[in-house]
Structure 1
Amino acid sequence: MELPPFEIITGDRIDPLVFKFQFKNVEYSSGRNKTFLCYLVDKGNTADGLLRGYLEDEHTGLHAEEAFFKQCLAHYDLAIKYTVTWYVSSSPCSACAARIAELLKAWKNIKLSIFAARLLEWEEADVQAGLKALHTAGCKLRVMKPLDFTYTWDTFVENEEQPLNLWEDCKENYEYYHEKLADILQ
């Protein structure tokens, strides 16, 4: 079977069923093979001060993290202080983490916080090295708490004002990933 054309999908709001599947913080994430990246970009006192939306990588060579910098910060300005917050379905792969760390070292006016629903292949040494590189480059890394899922639901999902009913093991899974990330970053 041939895959559809490569693309990055962008939008304002995620379908609720897609969100519940893609952001579920389970340890074994079978079928969750793309990244959803919800973003907030605060450009301070500029005309377009706050940007909000999401990206997903769909059968593409370009990951959502890299697409964010190419599409959302295409007109990067050294004179502007950027505060960028990502809520992602999984933490960056090792290659993306390394590229983001290098970018943060070069572009000192970007403050990036990444809140991940789950850790991608956290047992792999190269993924751990990538997460450490991000942390060393000044990126704030955190696993999404139950309250973060609710915030993301309210901010980025077509929820028709319906509250998010968190899955039964959300808090336990958060604690599991939180502990793993703390061990990696120590």
Structure 2
Amino acid sequence: MLPSLPGLALGLLLILALGQTFQFQERVFLQSLGLDKEPSPKKFQPVPSILKRIFQDQEAAATTGVSQDLCYVKELGVSGNILRLLPDQGPSAGDATLRRRIEPREFEVSFDPGELSKETRLLYEIKWGKSQRIWRHSGKNTTKHVERNFIEQITSERRFHRSVSCCIIWFLSWSPCWECSEAIREFLNQHPRVTLLIYVARLFHHMDPRNRQGLRDLTHSGVTIQIMGPTEYDYCWRHFVNYAPGKEAHWPRYPPPLMKLYALELHCIILGLPPCLNISRYQNQLTFFRLIPQNCHYQVIPPHILLHTGLIQLPLTWR
């Protein structure tokens, strides 16, 4: 028996109404997350905090054995399972920086703070004027140090004149030597509207007084120098490395204590203190890090930094 025309019309209206209701709920849900439309699978966006809470609640429920209604989002009061998980597919093929990314193995070897790699690798990004666009690239030593190569390349650009305003961020596997520090200062003096922020994985021949003075001179010239930490390693992995699909969050987990030791030594350099970190290589295989603090380090370095780096320890009281 064929359905009547009024029945067909009623069914069609019901389908349309349900479709509009679902679209409305989904639109409200996405707007509450700060998204104007459905995120494209090829476009990665930060996970909204509200989603993090949802996932954390689900993980907590799984560990305690308490069941949850996955079709109800309590934070939003929206029924219906409308969450879409987008698998990490590696850097998008449409990524303009894809051809300028380095391979994972190259990143792992070059930026490992526990290895004394002979070559210096530079990852950098430039933000021009008030533009929100960021230009990323990389470089390494040739017959010249990578810092000099960068300066020569960027100053050869026809548009790069004295009045150009830009912000440059360097991620260096080794800190600049004293000669490169002089070249950087000269470059910044000739381009006063350029700001430079330098992150380094290791300190280059940090016992050499000339290298220590070169880094101090850079900081006195307005350059910010910091040791790379987990945040910087993660950032470089995501934006400069051609990681494999599903490996976006799997950057090399280098030992945080090494980062702290280098940070402490850099702090000593900036304060004009003698070295407190000794690095030695045994049979070209093992690298040893040893603290050699003097009285001046305990007198000048703030207690919270000494405590954070392990130079001092709080006494334990047993009750």
TM-score bracket for the superposition, by shorter chain length = 0.7 to 0.9
Q: 1:93 to 1:45 in 2, by over 3 A?
A: same
Q: Higher strand fraction: Structure 1 or Structure 2?
A: 1
**Partner residue in 1 for 2:146:** 64
Unaligned runs of 5+ in 2: 1-98, 272-319
Change (3 A) 1:154 1:125: same
- Tell me by how many angstroms 1:164 deviates: 2.7
* Partner residue, 1:52: 136
Please state how far the C-alpha of 1:35 moved relative to its aligned partner: 1.0
Q: Is the 8 A contact 2:104 2:242 kept in 1?
A: yes
Helix, strand or coil for the counterpart of 2:180?
helix
- Contact (CA 8 Å) 1:84, 1:110: kept in 2 or not? yes
2:115 maps to 1:33? no
Gaps of 5+ in 1: 1-10
Letter in 2 for 1:173: L
RMSD: 1.8
* Other-structure match for 2:181: 97
| Counterpart for residue 8 of structure 1 | none
Q: Percent same amino acid among aligned pairs?
A: 25
Q: CA deviation at 1:22?
A: 0.7
Paired position in structure 1 for 2:171: 87
Q: Under a length normalisation based on structure 1, what TM-score does the superposition of the two structures give? A: 0.84
Provide the rounded CA distance (Å) in 1 between the counterparts of 2:251 and 2:240. Answer: 16
For 2:197 and 2:135, locate their aligned partners in 1 and report how far apart those are by CA, in whole Å. Answer: 15
- In structure 2, what is the equivalent of residue 129 of structure 1? 213
Paired residue type of 2:104: P
User: Per-residue deviation at 1:49?
Assistant: 4.9
- Deviation per CA, 1:3-58: give whole Å up to 9, x if none: xxxxxxxx6111101110110012x51xx111111011111246x9532110011x
How many residues matched? 169
1:151-180 alpha-carbon deviations (Å, 9 max, x no partner): 1011101112412343352x1011000000
Higher relative contact order (CA 8 A, sep 6+): 1
Mapped to 1, the partners of 2:237 and 2:155 lie a distance apart of 24
Q: Secondary structure at the match of 1:87?
A: strand
- Structure 2 letter corresponding to 1:112: L
Report the 3-state secondary structure (helix = DSSP H, G, I; strand = E; otherwise coil) of the residue aligned with 1:121. Answer: coil
